[in-house]
Structure 1
Amino acid sequence: MNRTAHLPDRPPALDRNGPATAKLPARTAPRRRPRSQQWAAWAFLTPVTLYLVLFYAYPLYRNLDLSLRHYTVRSFVQGDAPFTGLANYRTVFDDPTFGPALIHTVMFTAVCLFFQYAIGLALAVFFNQHFRLSVTLRALFLVPWLLPLIVSASTWSWMLNSDSGVVNAALHIVGIGPVNWLTSPSWSLTSVIIANIWIGVPFNLVVLHSGLQSIPASLYEAAALDGAGAWRRFWHITFPLLRPVSAITLLLGLVYTLKVFDIIWIMTKGGPADSSTTFATWSYQLGFGNLLPAFGPGAAVGNLLVLAALVFGLVYLRVQRKQYAS
């Protein structure tokens, strides 16, 4: 019979400094991924990298190169344009069109963003009630967003026509005289703003409605038990909790609105008398709208739009970092 099996465990051996500590197992070095997994990761990453380089990095580089050289039609084909530094940017800043185009771009962007977000948020809150036919009506609101821009812009051009447009016909019924929506310098910018708001509202509706779905219903129930009305529940629950979604919605809307070209060009071509010219349409006019195209100044105007979008993107990232840090 083995008596050692019934003996108590021996106490840890003592040394001069106290009981001996048990040795911890040594940390094993992290296992390296198999080479097959590394090749698979690079295989998935390569198409995305090529897409970004070909369709984003290279066009940005070419646009920057165009703005720093004096390109003509011949030098554009042969590629021997002389380097001029910031001369094209000085030409743009000295152009009398720069001031009005800057004001129109700021007005167009700010007004469109405000009304697109406000109307989209109101519709998102409305459809969040989950009433009957809410899904069907919400789907119908997506139609302006799904239509091609050339169709939407052409439709608004017909509706706002001074002679045969339905808008002036409706104004005539209520006793208001016809308005030259597209041919008057006082109304042309307003016309393209209205059309762009109509096109951009569905995007805000979809994104903000998805944000509302993530807000727990228990918060509204607790607020209602405390006696908070619908308006207070909106300002103290809905609006604060939608801030992250609202920030990305406004940023994407800003980038989209800065580069709007199709709607303005189809409806007014930036006129009359440059009354609806923005940086996007002006860049096109400089580069492709004349018999003697100014590729350098046109690229410089385009780079100003890229710089504006980049600045607002960096501001957004900085604000997000502060929020996560706090």
Structure 2
Amino acid sequence: MSTTTASAAAGAAPVAKKAAKPPNPARIRRRRRLAQWGFIAPAVVFMALFFGYPLVRNIVMSFQDYSPSTFFTGKSPFNGTDNWSNVFNDELFGKALWHTILFTIGSLIGQFCIGLGLAVFFSRRFPLNGILRSLILLPWLVPMVVSGVVWRRILDQDTGVLNSFLGTIGAGGDTPWLTSTSMALISVILVNIWIGIPFNMVILYGGLQEVPKELYEAASLDGASAWRTFRSITLPMLRPVITVVLVLGFMSTVKILDLILALTDGGPADSTQTLGTLTYQNSFVQLDFGAGAVVGNILILISAVFAVFYLRANRNEGK
């Protein structure tokens, strides 16, 4: 009886399931790769449409005879390196390149030095610190065209506020800030410095907050002067932030167009003509889109070379 019962129980017991097969490593890797591409695909499509295609199209245009009639006929014959040779042989290109160098270097030095000084100043606690920092941000928040129009009124030789003030205090009142070939570029640089100071101050101020306070306390106990502390502690600790500020400042300054157009329109006598304004003039004033594409490609090349050196320097610093 017991044997029969045991046999029945054994027959009623569920059949053990087979052990599940281990997952296929190749299939897992394939699924992960597909998932990664699924997340990356929107960004890749966006970059290809709005950055890749315009870049390639601009390069192609620089080797074509592209004129307003092309929009109607669709014909833009290949002309080899004619556009490039015409641009390089143009005397205005050399002037624009030199003005771009002066404008970029002058703006970066002024923005960085004043921005760093303000960042150090506001890193100390005092009444109205936050309010003053907020007010200093205003030039950065105002559109550049608006800033250019306002400063053009301020610097006007006849009715400008600056000359009126200088005349009131007996320091002259007829300085041709924007109409003199010797003063126009300097004035544009000073206005651009005024616009870029807040950005430099904010980034450098944030970097200063990350410097350990213990280092300053140790330097104070050792009797280090304020300059020695700044040179030996603050600047080395800010080096990565300084690099970012200078790179971003270079990228935004080398291609500035709207500010110069609002202030001087590249004049007087092309004394404020830069590569950015030359691109605009070739493309939309002279309607020589091929020459405009050439100057645009040169600007892209300058920025790319600068970016490569920046990445290489960062890589070496990381090692």
TM-score, normalisation: structure 2: 0.88
Matched, 1:126 2:121: yes
**Corresponding residue number in structure 2 for 1:185:** 181
Matched, 1:48 2:51: no
Q: Which has the higher helix share?
A: 2
Q: Alignment partner of 2:91: what SS? A: coil
**1:319 lines up with 2:319 in the alignment:** no
User: Take 2:40 and 2:128, find their aligned partners in 1: how far apart are those partners?
Assistant: 43
What amino acid is the match of 1:306?
I
* Whole-Å separation in 2 of the counterparts to 1:131 and 1:96: 54
**Equivalent residue, structure 2, for 1:198:** 194
Structure 2 residue aligned with 1:103 = 98
SS in 2 for 1:61: helix
Matched residues in 1 for 2:209 and 2:183: separation? 39
For 1:251-305, what per-residue CA distance to the aligned partner results, in whole angstroms no more than 9, with x for missing partners? Answer: 1100100110000001100001101000000110000013xx1111111011111
Question: What residue is the counterpart of 2:303 in the other structure?
Answer: 309
Listed as ranges, the gaps of 5+ residues in structure 1 are 1-27
Deviation string 1:3-52 (CA, Å, 9 cap, x unpaired) is: xxxxxxxxxxxxxxxxxxxxxxxxx9869658876665444322222221
Q: Deviations over 1:290-326 (max 9, x none)?
A: 3xx111111101111111111111011111111111x
Give the counterpart letter for 1:231 in structure 2: W
RMSD value over aligned CA atoms? Answer: 1.9
Residue in 2 that maps onto 1:175: 170
Query: Offset of 1:69 from its aligned partner?
Result: 0.9
Alignment identity in percent? 48
1:28-83 C-alpha deviation (Å, 9 max, x unpaired): 98696588766654443222222211221111111111111111111244332112
Match of 1:60?
Answer: 55
Inter-partner Cα distance in structure 2 for 1:203 and 1:82: 45
Change in 2 beyond 3 A, CA 1:162/1:228: same
Flag the 1:317–1:77 CA change in 2: closer, same or farther, 3 A: farther
How far apart are residue 103 of structure 1 and its match?
A: 1.0
Q: Measure the CA separation in 1 of the matches of 2:44 and 2:118.
A: 38
- Counterpart-to-counterpart distance in 2, 1:166 and 1:75: 47
Matches of 2:301 and 2:225 in 1, distance apart?
Answer: 44
Q: Which moved more, 1:220-229 or 1:190-199?
A: 190-199
Residue range with higher mean Cα deviation, 73-82 or 177-186: 73-82
Looking at structure 2, the residues matched to 77 and 124 of structure 1 have their Cα atoms a distance apart, in angstroms, of 55
Structure 2 residue aligned with 1:211, among 186, 207, 212? Answer: 207
Residue identity matched to 1:260: I
Say how many residue pairs are matched: 296
The residue identity in structure 1 corresponding to 2:291 is P
Q: Equivalent residue for 1:263?
A: 259
In structure 2, the residue matched to 1:294 is 288
Assess, with a 3 A threshold, how the Cα gap between structure 1 residues 227 and 270 changes in structure 2: closer, same or farther: same
